[in-house]
Amino acid sequence: MNARAFVTGIGAVTPNGLDMTSTWDAVVSGRSGIRALEGIDVSDLAVKVGGQVRGFDPLAHVSRSDAKRLDRHALYGIAAAAEAMAGFAAHDPHRFGVTAATGSGAVSLTQEAVRALDAHGPRRVPPGVVVYGGPDAAAAFLSERYGARGAGVGTAATCASGAVGLGDALRAIRHGYADAVLVVGADDCLNRVNLAVNSMLGALAPGFADEPWRASRPFDRARSGFVMSAGATALLVESEEHARRRGADVLGEIAGYGVTSDAYHATAPRPDGSGAAAAMRQALDDARCSPADVDHVNAHGTGTPLNDAMEAAALHSVFGDGLGAVPVTSTKSTTGHLLGGAGTLEAALSLLAMRDGLIPPTINLDDPAFPELDVVAHDARPAALRTVLSTSFGFGGHNAALVLRAV
């Protein structure tokens, strides 16, 4: 088989909004979701800012007992899934799957269990940690909720997890293993442990307590690290036949996917960008298009010194002399970095950019470090978009790229 994979539903819970519409409106308007961190003791940490989800009520989506059992990242994913799934009914539940993509999984739930063990002994450790502490927790919950009896899995590839989950959904549909796959990318690592470790690695932007919205600075000379964020984005992916049969509104197509490993270093990317470039080329080949067909790149663009330099090199390798004609943006400048949830969020934003003919801006780009890139700075740019390349890279050398296409 060679079925096409259409996206028919999207949902989001992000620092920029509690649904996809409000998130898109904020991102395309250049309104940052990054604030001074609240509810976390950062007095002895260099990191003071982050992208927290505000105003979220888990009881609007799950029972009180489930709200206590599940990790925050899974709760965000369940809420995002409800938005993406509106109006959907699978023709055959055995051909409907769910993928939960996460870089770190139930970190808060696990850390709370350790604190309970240390403070009160083994009888106070919640037994649900065994069930809900894995990366597949949201997939298992959502499979039961929606009666999805196809593959229900957890996928982890650090910050490329969301893109890998979508790429796997494309392959499952293309080759006839599924009619529909709900892909949920989610993470919430905003806690003292994860903030401290990433700060010690030099990965996070320090300071900016007085101007938190200025902290995320992809492709700028003054960039000093990424800004960690929490949240989730869900995409419902269906075969063309399944989507047409039920008269679904189609947001776009996942046309190509590439995935590689740097096999180089635990945290640093290959400086020449060869692994990232290989993933991009694979995705383009998979979509049967050339670099000249790409109208826009939604870059991984974390704002770390190493990533942005590597990604600029990779883009130059793929696009060559035509690089300057391809508008690039990093929406992490407004959303922060959702880690394992970044790939799904940025795929969704790419689809909406095509729908509305509007490329979201890269805010805080005051002194471009890579003048060879046409980075859309400060304000959104109108553009006719039919093909968008979205990239995701992560610790461990994970590289993934998706080609999204208008239908």
Give the tens place of pLDDT for each residue, 330-366.
999 999 999 999 999 999 999 999 999 999 999 999 9
Residues 61, 73, 296, 300: which is the catalytic one?
Answer: 300
265 catalytic? Reply is: no
One-letter amino acid of 329 = T
Alpha helices, DSSP H only, in 292-404? 305-319, 332-335, 342-356
- Is the separation of the CB atoms in 232 and 13 below 8 Å? yes
Give the tens place of pLDDT for each residue, 141-178.
999 999 999 999 999 999 999 999 999 999 999 999 99
Q: Which two tokens stand for residue 315?
A: 């883009």
Q: Among 58, 47, 54, which residue's Cα sits nearest to residue 26?
A: 54
CA–CA–CA angle 267, 392, 25 (5° rounding): 125
Tell me the C-alpha distance between 310 and 307, whole Å. 5
Chain mean position to CA 161: 8
Tell me the C-alpha distance between 393 and 28, whole Å. 23
62-to-58, 187, 223, 285 alpha-carbon distances in Å = 6, 18, 39, 42
CA–CA–CA angle 342, 343, 348 (5° rounding): 100
- Is the separation of the CB atoms in 355 and 252 below 8 Å? yes
Give the HSE-up count for residue 57: Cα atoms under 13 Å, Cβ half-sphere: 2
157 φ/ψ angles, rounded to the nearest 5 degrees: -150, 50
Residues 61, 73, 159, 398: which is the catalytic one?
Answer: 159
- Is the separation of the CB atoms in 203 and 128 below 8 Å? no
- Is the separation of the CB atoms in 40 and 195 below 8 Å? yes
Q: Which two tokens stand for residue 304?
A: 């770390």
- Is the separation of the CB atoms in 399 and 261 below 8 Å? yes
Per the listing, tokens 């964020």 go with 229
Residue ranges of the chain that CATH labels 3.40.47.10: 5-245, 257-405
Q: Which two tokens stand for residue 20?
A: 């996809």
300 catalytic? Reply is: yes
> Which residues have C-beta within 8 Å of that of residue 29, sequence separation ≥ 6?
380
Tell me the C-alpha distance between 349 and 10, whole Å. 10
159 catalytic? Reply is: yes
Q: pLDDT in tens for each of the 407 residues of the chain? A: 799 999 999 999 999 999 999 999 999 999 999 999 999 999 999 999 999 999 999 999 999 999 999 999 999 999 999 999 999 988 899 999 999 999 999 999 999 999 999 999 999 998 888 889 999 999 999 999 999 999 999 999 999 999 999 999 999 999 999 999 999 999 999 999 999 999 999 999 999 999 999 999 999 999 999 999 999 999 999 999 999 999 999 999 999 999 999 999 999 999 999 999 999 999 999 999 999 999 999 999 999 999 999 999 999 999 999 999 999 999 999 999 999 999 999 999 999 999 999 999 999 999 999 999 999 999 999 999 999 999 999 999 999 999 999 99
Residues 61, 73, 242, 337: which is the catalytic one?
Answer: 337
Tell me the C-alpha distance between 79 and 59, whole Å. 10
Per the listing, tokens 């790939």 go with 343
Q: Which helix (H) or strand (E) holds 143?
A: helix 137-146
Tell me the C-alpha distance between 26 and 162, whole Å. 21
Of the options 3.30.70.80, 3.30.70.260, 3.40.47.10, 2.30.130.30, the CATH number for the domain spanning 5-245: 3.40.47.10
257-405 folds as Peroxisomal Thiolase; Chain A, domain 1 (3.40.47)
- Is the separation of the CB atoms in 228 and 302 below 8 Å? no
